[in-house]
Structure 1
Amino acid sequence: MDDMKDKSIHFTAERLTEEIKKMSSYKNFYSEIQKMVSSTCVKQSNFKETLLEAIRQAGMETELRNTVFHWIRSHNNYDCVNGYPLKEPLAYLRKAQLQWEKRVHKSLNSMCSELGVALARLRLASDKDELIEKWTELSTYDIDLSQYRPVYAPKDFLEVLMWIRSPNYHTMDTGGNWDFTHIPLKVKSLNELRMLYQEISRGEPLLGVNPYMGSTTSNFPTLEVERTVLGEKVIESNHAPVAQEFLKKGCPRGLRGHMWAQVLGASLKPTHHDYFNELKYYVLQYDLLVDKLIIKDVQLTASNDDQYFVYEDVLYQVMLCFSRDTEVLSIFHHSASNPFHAVLKNKQPTIENTVVFPPSGIIPFHGFTMYATPFLYLYDDPVAVYHTFRAFYMRYLFRLHEVSSHQQGILCLCLLFEKLLQRHESQLWFHFKHIKIQPARVVFKWLMRGFSGYLPPEQLLYLWDLVLAYDSLEVLPLLAVAILSFRKDNLLQVETLANVEAVLADLSSLKVMPLLQLALLRD
């Protein structure tokens, strides 16, 4: 057994070494090591010890530890066979995802045909000049989008999910697509969630519960001051696992940007500005169909939101650059989905003439741009917004719009929501059954957008603190159940979907942390 363990560690170490060599930061790291070896602080007579000490003193040991931490986290995010990523293992879900992709691609192609536009073309010189001139105020960019429509909306995706059936699971219920119990996937119980979110379930002092909560020690006037002092030390240490642990009790707003970037490995470097400018160049050079879809989506969502409309210009920059980012394609190595491929104009349909569209592989849907809006509250620099958002999307958010059996996928989150509601709010569950309204239909838009655009920004940031802290999206369905429980008395008095949605339309008065504590502390 020890021999097998040693081989496994050796195999992992070899693979980690090879992948670090492929990282963009490796060349600079290796160059710094070479300079260090030739410096006076490294002694030939005691080479190993003095080199390791020099690496520690320069902060490079912490950088290397963070690199390993991010690599392990990213590789724990999907199933593997012999150390290599495995796409969706269940055949019926693979089939459902492929059918969904065909439907989305057909919708995209139909839009091109109806409007007489190409998926991509070189941008006209006049259009390019206008875009350069208005880059920092893209909300004034004049373009007619009246004929464009979202490729799909969350409700379209929900309909597809509700009709998925496992061939190995038969139910006596002939009521049609009522819930997700016909998909036999394992999800956590409330007790298992308590074990995961221990700091919350134990009722420990948390930021976001009471702004005037006293400090846990006599050295600070409030908990927020205590957390701020501690948080500054965490940031100074620059150690990603410590930053992740710190987030479990909430983060002071002034430190959140640094903390998130540390946990996600997205701390700003000079190369990030160069990369963002390169993406900007491609935005100016090429006119893509998804540009119109992105601009239309911002107009339909963030532009009409009192909390986000002031950040509209930066949001355009971030999302247009995101559509050109080929780094995002790496998620398809372990994602259940596949990027859309298009044949170059006037070329034969061969592999050589086929390209991924858009370059990021992600086709935006209605509400997609809201994934980036919380990051606008964290940074003044669009480059910092971009790289932290991209890291968060590639770690978590892509799972919210694909058909997958992954525990962090939207199917499992819906199933977790239903099981928690049925088990712990049975009166509400049977009320929904009586009035013939699927519970998932009520909360699906919250789950698919990670509550972005539904919760006030400050509360949403506390929620996403927990996503990062516990490396899990399972807090989303837990909060959804807590909200329904909180509005239970009103929900039991209404009997139509419109009235149910009216009861749940305004979440602006809700506080995330107290609701989650109540949900986890319940009997």
Structure 2
Amino acid sequence: MGDMKDNSIHRTAQKFAVEIQQMEEYRTLYSNVEKIAASPCVQKGDFKETLLSALRTSGVDMELRNVVFHRMRSHSNNANSTNGYPIKEPLAYLRKAQLQWEKRIHKSLNSMCAELGVPLARLRLASDRDELSDKWNELSTYDIDLSQYRPVYAPKDFLEVLLCIKSPNYRPVDGEGLWHFAQIPVRVKTLAELRSLYAEISRGEPLLGVNPHMPSASHPTLEAERTVLGEKVIGANHAPVAQEFLKRGCPKCQRGKVWAQVLGSQVRQSHVQHFNRLKQLVLQYDLLVDKLIIKDVQLTASNDDQYFVFEDILYQVMLCFSRDTDVLSVFNHSASNPVHAVLKNRTPYVENSVIFPPSGIIPFHGFTMFAMPVCYLYEDPAELYFTFRALYLRYWFQLHEVSSREQGILPLCLLFERLLQRHEPGLWAHFRLAGVQPVRVVFKWLMRAFSGHLPPEQLLYLWDAVLAYDSLEILAVLAAAILSFRKENLLQVDTLQAVEAVVADLSSIVVMPLIQVALLRENGN
């Protein structure tokens, strides 16, 4: 058994070594190791020990550890595999639903192009390019008529698709499958398993999001203690330590650096150059999705008191994201597929098609909300961009595709329903009697990871927990907890519109105490 384990570790190490050699950071790492190996501090007579010591002293050892950590995390996204090869989605009926959804999106794009008489992509006119370049840092003043453009889809459209999915093996009892997600038999965690996952929260440990001003043994307040510890964590530059640190909340002034460590999104010179190349592509090509992005920013951030000041930088980040072909790596483990468009005046064959947009991601109504909270962490557009991109590639892509994976939107909806049904049976029965589907109330929260619904400070504490526990399941826990918190008012109304009105304003919600209460509650209480 020991030999088998050693062989497995050896094979994994070999696989990682090959993958690391293909990474952008490899040349820099290899060059640094070469320089250290040739330095006087490495002795020929004791080469291994002195080299390892020099690597630790120089910080290169920690860089290598972080590279391996992020590579292992990316492999955990490939949860479904056969003989080492990733499977897009193991359940055939969900694969079919996803393909049908993609065809619908493609059709919507093509219909818009036909109605407006515009192509999916074209070279910008010189005058347009010059104007866009001149206004790059104040794109809110870029004048463009968007009255005829509409979002390709909104969360409610996607929800209707999900509610129509049924397992071919499912047999409904008394029509219950028509009312909620029981028709999709995907396993989700129990409350006991959630308590185990979110151990620090469920144990009632002091959290910044709950009691930042409470006295500490060695500092005036918990916030002061966490700030001192945070400086040490940032100085250590070790991603797993930074991730562990986030479990009890992160001080505002350190969140940007800690998140970048956890996500591996620290900006180097090569990243700045990459961001500038994306900017040039924006200036060079006019894409249909540019209008969709600009309109989405206008409909979300521009109309939000908390985010309107970030309008200009959001245009930059989102337009660059649409051109970033590195984002295509998400389709290696995503259940979805990028849209392909046929080149102009070419026959409709695969070899005559290109991925549209270059990133492969079609923005929907509210897509900008994934980037809005990150604006509070960074002033530099490049730093904002790479952390937003890392968050999307790690988490957010799962919120708008049909998938059975544990972190996908379908299992999150099912988890929300199970928690509400089991631990708020009275409220569940009330919804059932009124014919109100609870998931319709919370779906937009889940699909947008609560962005645009919670105050920024509370939302960032929630996203701290997403990164800390590397799980989106806390979104479903919070959604159920909010309905439980507003239960008294919800029991007084019996229409979907009235229910939505009761929970429309979440500005008074304090996230972490609600989640604590939800995790600590007993069945049915």
Interval containing the TM-score (normalised by the shorter chain): over 0.9
Deviations 1:382-440 (A, max 9, x none): 10000000001000000000000000000000000000000000111011101101010
Q: Judge which range, 192-201 or 39-48, deviates more.
A: 39-48
| Aligned amino acid, residue 484 of structure 2 | S
**Corresponding residue of 1:15:** 15
Deviations 1:455-477 (A, max 9, x none): 00000000000000000000001
Deviations 1:308-355 (A, max 9, x none): 000000000000000001111011011100000011111223333211
**Corresponding residue of 2:273:** 274
Instruction: Quote the offset at 1:249 in angstroms.
Output: 0.3
| Aligned amino acid, residue 214 of structure 1 | P
Deviations 1:485-513 (A, max 9, x none): 11000000011111111100100011001
**Corresponding residue of 1:84:** 85
Instruction: Quote the offset at 1:32 in angstroms.
Output: 1.3
**Corresponding residue of 2:480:** 481
Q: Which residues of 2 match residues 298-309 of structure 1 at below 5 A?
A: 298-309=297-308
Q: Which residues of 2 match residues 236-255 of structure 1 at below 5 A?
A: 236-255=235-254
SS of 2:336's partner is: coil
User: Aligned equivalents of 1:59 and 1:344: distance in 2?
Assistant: 48
**Corresponding residue of 2:120:** 119
Deviations 1:220-272 (A, max 9, x none): 00000000000110000000000000000000000000000000001121111
TM-score, L = length of structure 1: 0.98
SS of 2:271's partner is: helix
Asked whether the equivalents of residues 36 and 54 of structure 1 are also in contact (C-alpha less than 8 Å), the reply is yes
Asked whether the equivalents of residues 12 and 83 of structure 1 are also in contact (C-alpha less than 8 Å), the reply is no
TM-score, L = length of structure 2: 0.98
Q: Judge which range, 376-385 or 352-361, deviates more.
A: 352-361
User: Aligned equivalents of 1:176 and 1:235: distance in 2?
Assistant: 49
Asked whether the equivalents of residues 177 and 183 of structure 2 are also in contact (C-alpha less than 8 Å), the reply is no
User: Aligned equivalents of 1:84 and 1:11: distance in 2?
Assistant: 15
User: Aligned equivalents of 1:225 and 1:66: distance in 2?
Assistant: 27
Instruction: Quote the offset at 1:43 in angstroms.
Output: 1.9
| Aligned amino acid, residue 437 of structure 1 | V
SS of 1:355's partner is: strand
- The structure 1 segments of at least 4 consecutive aligned residues displaced by more than 6 Å after TM superposition are none
Asked whether the equivalents of residues 401 and 409 of structure 2 are also in contact (C-alpha less than 8 Å), the reply is yes
Runs of 5+ consecutive residues of structure 1 not aligned to the other structure: none
Instruction: Quote the offset at 1:176 in angstroms.
Output: 5.9
Asked whether the equivalents of residues 100 and 160 of structure 1 are also in contact (C-alpha less than 8 Å), the reply is yes
**Corresponding residue of 2:452:** 453
Q: Does 1:408 align with 2:440?
A: no
Identity %: 72
User: Aligned equivalents of 2:211 and 2:65: distance in 1?
Assistant: 35
Q: Residues 176 and 245 (structure 1 numbering): CA distance in 2 closer, same or farther, change over 3 Å? A: closer
**Corresponding residue of 2:263:** 264
**Corresponding residue of 1:178:** 179
User: Aligned equivalents of 1:92 and 1:169: distance in 2?
Assistant: 12
| Aligned amino acid, residue 172 of structure 1 | V
Runs of 5+ consecutive residues of structure 2 not aligned to the other structure: none
**Corresponding residue of 1:229:** 228
Instruction: Quote the offset at 1:175 in angstroms.
Output: 5.2
SS of 1:181's partner is: helix
Asked whether the equivalents of residues 78 and 406 of structure 1 are also in contact (C-alpha less than 8 Å), the reply is no
**Corresponding residue of 2:63:** 63
Asked whether the equivalents of residues 226 and 250 of structure 2 are also in contact (C-alpha less than 8 Å), the reply is yes
Asked whether the equivalents of residues 211 and 222 of structure 2 are also in contact (C-alpha less than 8 Å), the reply is no
User: Aligned equivalents of 2:365 and 2:90: distance in 1?
Assistant: 29
Q: Does 1:314 align with 2:281?
A: no
Asked whether the equivalents of residues 176 and 182 of structure 2 are also in contact (C-alpha less than 8 Å), the reply is no
Asked whether the equivalents of residues 447 and 476 of structure 1 are also in contact (C-alpha less than 8 Å), the reply is yes
SS of 2:340's partner is: strand
**Corresponding residue of 1:294:** 293
User: Aligned equivalents of 1:91 and 1:3: distance in 2?
Assistant: 38
**Corresponding residue of 1:362:** 361
User: Aligned equivalents of 2:490 and 2:213: distance in 1?
Assistant: 32
Asked whether the equivalents of residues 227 and 251 of structure 1 are also in contact (C-alpha less than 8 Å), the reply is yes
User: Aligned equivalents of 1:227 and 1:86: distance in 2?
Assistant: 41
Deviations 1:148-201 (A, max 9, x none): 000000000000000100011212232563100110000001111000001111
| Aligned amino acid, residue 319 of structure 2 | L
Instruction: Quote the offset at 1:57 in angstroms.
Output: 1.0
Asked whether the equivalents of residues 78 and 85 of structure 1 are also in contact (C-alpha less than 8 Å), the reply is yes
Q: Which residues of 2 match residues 427-446 of structure 1 at below 5 A?
A: 427-446=426-445
User: Aligned equivalents of 2:121 and 2:100: distance in 1?
Assistant: 24
